[in-house]
Amino acid sequence: MRTIAELNYDFRIETRKRDAFNMNDKHRHEPYEIYYLRAGERYYFIDDRIYHVNQGDLIFVPSNVLHRTTAANNEQHERTVLYFKDRFLADLVPQSAHLMDCFYRETKVVRPKVAEQMQIENTLAKLSTEYGKSLPHSALYLKALLIELLVLANRIEPAEPNLYDSLSPIHEKIHKIVRYLRKNYQSAVTLAQLGDKFYISQYYLSRMFKEVTGLTLIEYLNTVRVQEAQKLLTSSDLSITEISGLVGYENQTYFGRIFKRITGLTPSEYRRQSSAG
């Protein structure tokens, strides 16, 4: 079994206290992320939703999904963030165990009850203590603790917390626009159209969309289109020209350029790499 030093690339945990802070733009990564807010409150943008999260909330970010946290006020906040790759648990947990279900619920935030919070904080404390040690079986113990955390998370009732009711008016507006873009990515969408539809000036929409999501409107739209193209490239035999049109691009050359900018590969390279396993 690999040592902790060798596993650090596949697993990491950190706790940090910060003043009001907005995450850098364009944030996504291969590892799965579990974010536990120990104190304070934040706005959390994930894929096509914006959540107002508070102390004790647990957030699940799937692999390679756009996300960003921003300040909800001028107060300090403290959080523990845990990152891990698929392969970290691959030798211990079969997919049939459904241990990753908590990442794929419709709502990516859960609000544990007090007793559940205590269990989660206890497990996170043990993970933080063990992380970085080189004791016998430390790597295996880290994996066991992560499995324990995921089991606890999956046992928490997804409930129906009013995570959107407490959004500020502008966050609520951007939330609706992001959801609209996710559903209408195949259509030609402009700032002017969105401004008219959602009763907001183009300038203010452009500025606030970037501030909330970390992306310009066209960057977000291109990201959604490329994500949908990736699905079609791996699940269908459609030509790249057909896929380009289906996801909203009239020009295949432009589609290829955007696809490579976002993924680092051309559509053909991505399809070959995916089929090679």
Planar angle of CA 3, 6, 9, nearest 5 degrees: 135
pLDDT beyond 80 at 276: no
User: Helix or strand or coil: residue 80?
Assistant: strand
**Given pLDDT bands bounded at 50, 70 and 90, which one contains residue 153?**
very high
Residues facing 36 on adjacent strands: 58, 80
For residues 157 and 96, which has the higher predicted lDDT (pLDDT)? Answer: 157
Output the furthest CA–CA distance in the chain (Å, rounded): 63
Confidence grade of residue 3 (pLDDT, cut at 50, 70, 90) = very low
If phi over 0 gives left and psi between -120 and 50 gives alpha, with beta otherwise, what is residue 197? alpha
Q: Is the pLDDT of residue 95 over 60?
A: yes
pLDDT over 70 at 160, yes or no: no
Model pLDDT, residue 85 = 93
**Statement: residue 29 has pLDDT above 90:** no
CA 143 to chain centre: 22
> What would you report as the CA-atom Rg of the chain, rounded to the nearest whole angstrom?
20
Residue 250 has pLDDT above 80, yes or no: yes
* DSSP tag of 89: T
Please give the pLDDT value at position 7: 44
In percent, how much of the chain has pLDDT > 90?
56
Query: Is residue 4 pLDDT above 50, yes or no?
Result: no
The chain-wide mean pLDDT, for the chain, equals: 87
Q: Does pLDDT of 82 surpass 90?
A: yes
- What is the reported pLDDT for 167? 78
Cβ-based neighbour number of residue 130 at 10 Å: 18
**How would you list the strands of the sheet with 49-54, edge to edge?**
49-54, 41-46, 67-71
Higher pLDDT: 3 or 93? It is 93
Domains and their CATH numbers in the chain:
4-155 (2.60.120.280), 169-275 (1.10.10.60)
Give residue 118's pLDDT. 92
* Whole-angstrom distance, CA of residue 271 vs CA of residue 131: 37
What average pLDDT score do residues 12-20 get?
89
- Residue 236's pLDDT band, with cuts at 50, 70 and 90, is very high
Is 39 within 8 Å of 73 (Cβ atoms)?
no
Measured between alpha carbons, how far is residue 126 from residues 29, 120, 154, 168 in Å? 25, 10, 19, 36
Residue 1 has pLDDT above 50, yes or no: no
Among the listed residues 88, 73, 6, 5, the one whose alpha carbon sits nearest the alpha carbon of residue 42: 73
- For the whole model, what pTM was predicted? 0.78
pLDDT (tens digit, 9 = 90+) per residue, 168-227? 888 889 989 999 999 999 999 999 999 999 999 999 999 999 988 888 999 999 999 999
